[in-house]
Amino acid sequence: MQKQWRAKSEPDKKTVEALSSAINVNKVLSGILVQRGVDTFEKAKNFFRPQYSHMHDPFIMKGMTRAIERIDEALAKNQKILIYGDYDVDGTTSVATVYDFFSKRFKEIEYYIPDRYTEGYGISFMAIDWASNNGYSLIIALDCGIKANDKVKYANKKGVDFIICDHHLPGDELPEAVAILNPKQADCPYPFKELSGCGIGLKLVQGYCIKHEIDFKEVEEYMDLSAISVASDLVPIMDENRVITYQGLKKLKTNPNRGIKALLENYAPRPEYSVNDIVFFIGPRINAAGRIADAKDSVRLMISDKDKDSAEIAEMINHHNNERRNFDSSITEEAFNMILADKDFHSRKSTVLFHSEWHKGVIGIVASRLIEKYYRPTIVLTESNGMAAGSARSVEGFDLYGAIEECADLLEQYGGHTHAAGLTLRVENVPKFQEKFEAIVSKNIVTRSLTPEIEYDTEIPFRAITPKFFSVLKQFAPFGPGNASPIFMTRNVWDVGDATIVGNNHLRLSLTHEEGGRIYKAIGFGLGEHHDKVAQGISFDICYYIEENFFNGHVNLQLNIKDILFKT
């Protein structure tokens, strides 16, 4: 699929020159920093060296004081506490963090992860009944609950209090909980609004430590789990999330959580870990337990205190991940076949597919695969407990959550973000939903949002890529939403003669930019369609980012090509 290329706006030259001089970095890199709002020496210092001291005071967050008071009350009265969280990476890391910390201080404490298939997303009536029947007086809900008004009201009637720690957008009316920790509350003064669910759980732990004069090292213990949640939940890696991710990645290398360390035994050694290592290796495995079997296995992994237990659980989770891959592959193929058989597909602006026998645990992944190929707002539905349950994914510039909300009259439940959401509806309403969702998308989406776009930072010649250049560029990490790996554009490159297709239609190249110039190894994932032209020695333009490739214990500089453009 051809992508649109667009250069970012040119930064102010005087600001670039001043920053370049202040931090002794060339103007290309200082220009990229200025584009990202890092335009002074002090901002650059904080950007390149994120410190724990840059984290915000947890007591600025609305509800923090009351939440800790209620936890202290539970301790004083010997009440039972239930730590509750969702079955994805953010939910399970949240539960592992908060449960592990408080289990060292409370005897009467347990954790609960809802079953994806029998209870669904978020807080469930079944869980509240279980808590009430087993004598729990307080539930701390993590990564969920901000819209569970009816569930919290039901719990209150049963004498069960709620503390809600959530980062999703609140509705017009908040649940009647004892305390709500969510920076996105309209009247919450907390300066950073984009924490992950686990990040908010970490702030609760930090607040408790401050009040009770517990050393900050107890908070540091969970920094790697919080970094895993930030990377996996795709929240912006800026401000406090940058500190968490930067420090968490360091801990992942030097002193990781015992269970995560066991998972990494099956991973090629790295001199250091990156967000990509979380996104493509750690995160999918933690998720796999909840997709295929029981998400409690992921929590058990992260709170295990014996190497033998960690190794056994890690092996089981790796097995679940292999199963998940098989389901993912077969269902994606079926989805593509359904689209090929639909003669009206290309006249629509959205994709909504339903198959009663698809595995609920991988439909979100399948939706992402369909976005990659067809690039339009996509919802994949399957049948679960007599209902149609779905995962939705969006394209850049389109408010998916808003479109789903407009279909609320056809839905039983929904929640999520602008770019990703979950929903449940009656099976008989699926055709009406498909029709209404398509009408809403067609009315609101702009043509530009139906073509993937590459926004590159700047144009450079290959000779600009010096060892010092890359050394500074590496320090821009950790990369992710809000601080993406810089994308460069170079014109008139060509392959020196060894272009090959590897793996699943990936293009491996050796590129140069000028006669006698340095040759760079390059990989273009999914770009095998360009092989024949490239092999002819035709010059072309590329958008790419620069990375290190780890293979057989060796580290090489590599250009990761996002797109290729031939001259017309």
Q: DSSP string spanning 495-542?
A: E-S--EEETTTEEEEEEESSTTPPPEEEEETT-GGGHHHHHTT--EEE
Shared domain for 432 and 461, answered yes or no, is: no
Which pLDDT band, with edges at 50, 70 and 90, does 119 fall under? confident
pLDDT, tens digit, 9 for 90 and up, residues 161-216:
999 999 998 989 999 999 999 999 999 999 999 999 999 999 999 999 999 999 99
- Which of 3-12, 53-62, 266-275, 335-344 is the least confident region? 266-275
Closest listed residue to residue 545, CA positions, set 514, 524, 565, 527: 524
Give the pairing type, strands 506-512 and 488-495. Answer: antiparallel
Domain limits for position 346 = 342-450
Closest listed residue to residue 353, CA positions, set 335, 327, 371, 329: 335
pLDDT, tens digit, 9 for 90 and up, residues 406-433:
999 999 988 877 888 889 999 999 999 9
What confidence score (pLDDT) does residue 344 get? Answer: 92
Which pLDDT band, with edges at 50, 70 and 90, does 377 fall under? very high
Q: Cα separations (Å) of 373 from 3, 420, 499? A: 12, 17, 24
pLDDT of 293 > 90? The answer is: no
Q: Which residues make beta-bridge pairs with 352?
A: 379
pLDDT, tens digit, 9 for 90 and up, residues 8-45:
999 999 999 999 999 999 999 999 999 999 999 999 99
What confidence score (pLDDT) does residue 418 get? Answer: 82
Q: Is residue 336 part of a domain?
A: no
Cα–Cα distance for residue pair 563/524, rounded to 1 Å: 8
pLDDT of 551 > 90? The answer is: no
Q: Is residue 135 part of a domain?
A: yes
Shared domain for 418 and 402, answered yes or no, is: yes
Average pLDDT over residues 261-273: 90
Domains in the chain, number:
3
Q: What are phi and psi of 236, to 5 degrees?
A: -60, 130
DSSP 191: S
Q: Is residue 225 part of a domain?
A: yes
What confidence score (pLDDT) does residue 567 get? Answer: 82
Cα–Cα distance for residue pair 201/79, rounded to 1 Å: 20
Q: Is residue 559 part of a domain?
A: yes
pLDDT, tens digit, 9 for 90 and up, residues 211-243:
999 999 999 999 999 999 999 998 999 999 999
Average pLDDT over residues 331-342: 95
What confidence score (pLDDT) does residue 500 get? Answer: 95
Give how far the C-alpha of residue 37 lies from the chain's centroid of Cα atoms, to the nearest Å: 23
What confidence score (pLDDT) does residue 515 get? Answer: 83
Q: Is residue 240 part of a domain?
A: yes
> Among residues of the chain, what percentage have pLDDT more than 70?
100
Q: Is residue 332 part of a domain?
A: no
Shared domain for 352 and 289, answered yes or no, is: no
pLDDT of 568 > 80? The answer is: no
Average pLDDT over the chain, rounded to whole? 94
Shared domain for 156 and 220, answered yes or no, is: yes
What confidence score (pLDDT) does residue 230 get? Answer: 97
Query: b or e along 82-103 (b: 16 or more beta carbons within 10 Å of the residue's beta carbon)?
Result: bbbbbbbbbbbbbbbbbbbbbb
Domain CATH code at residue 502:
2.40.50.460
Cα–Cα distance for residue pair 539/490, rounded to 1 Å: 11
What confidence score (pLDDT) does residue 270 get? Answer: 85
Which pLDDT band, with edges at 50, 70 and 90, does 552 fall under? confident
Shared domain for 222 and 193, answered yes or no, is: yes
Shared domain for 419 and 471, answered yes or no, is: no
pLDDT, tens digit, 9 for 90 and up, residues 480-489:
999 999 999 9
pLDDT of 554 > 80? The answer is: no
**Which of 316, 334, 351 is the endpoint of a domain?**
316
Q: Is residue 430 part of a domain?
A: yes
Shared domain for 381 and 298, answered yes or no, is: no
Shared domain for 468 and 439, answered yes or no, is: no
Shared domain for 153 and 201, answered yes or no, is: yes
What confidence score (pLDDT) does residue 59 get? Answer: 98
Domain CATH code at residue 354:
3.10.310.30
Domain CATH code at residue 309:
3.90.1640.30
Q: Is residue 55 part of a domain?
A: no
What confidence score (pLDDT) does residue 549 get? Answer: 84
Average pLDDT over residues 83-92: 95
Shared domain for 442 and 347, answered yes or no, is: yes
What confidence score (pLDDT) does residue 187 get? Answer: 94
**Which of 409, 428, 450 is the endpoint of a domain?**
450
**Which of 413, 430, 450 is the endpoint of a domain?**
450
Average pLDDT over residues 147-168: 97
Shared domain for 94 and 165, answered yes or no, is: yes
Shared domain for 195 and 279, answered yes or no, is: yes
* Token digits of residue 491: 């014109």
SS3 237: coil
